[in-house]
Amino acid sequence: MPALPTKFYANGLEQQLHQYQGLGHLRVRARGDLLTIESGDKADPTRHARLRRDTATQWTLEIAGYSGVWEPTPLRDTRENLVAVLVEQFGWVLTPQDDAPLNPGEPGAN
């Protein structure tokens, strides 16, 4: 059975991210075999990280570098496991990039 198009995974990934405290500002955009985690203005988003589909069930993790270049990691796993690793080991890349505080009513802000 062929794999579903990547766009079908975007909402689930966004919901998984929002389960973590302080990550309600993040959204997920799907394009090709990529799920990009971003925040900020939709016209000029801040890109934090992305998952690249490698096989039907395996994904790789890339992190946005300071210069805007995507830095691959050696990690390859399921989406769910990669998100857990991203939050737990690379959580600093998911922080808001502006000085505005999170809205207390925003999901994941508590």
Distance CA 54, CA 52 (A): 6
Predicted local distance difference test score (pLDDT) of residue 69: 92
What is the reported pLDDT for 107? 53
Q: Does pLDDT of 99 surpass 80?
A: no
Q: Where are the domains of the chain?
A: 6-94
Give the pLDDT band of residue 81 (cuts 50, 70, 90).
very high
Supply the pTM of this predicted model. 0.83
Q: What is the pLDDT of residues 13-60, one digit of tens each?
A: 999 999 999 999 999 999 999 999 999 999 999 999 999 999 989 999
Average pLDDT over residues 68-82: 95
Please list the residues that pair with 64 across neighbouring strands: 70
If DSSP codes are grouped into helix, strand and coil, which group holds residue 99? coil
| Mean per-residue pLDDT over the chain, rounded | 88
48 neighbors 77 (Cβ within 8 angstroms): no
> Which one-letter amino acid corresponds to residue 60?
T
pLDDT of residue 98: 67
Q: Which of 45, 6, 39 is nearest to 24 (CA)?
A: 39
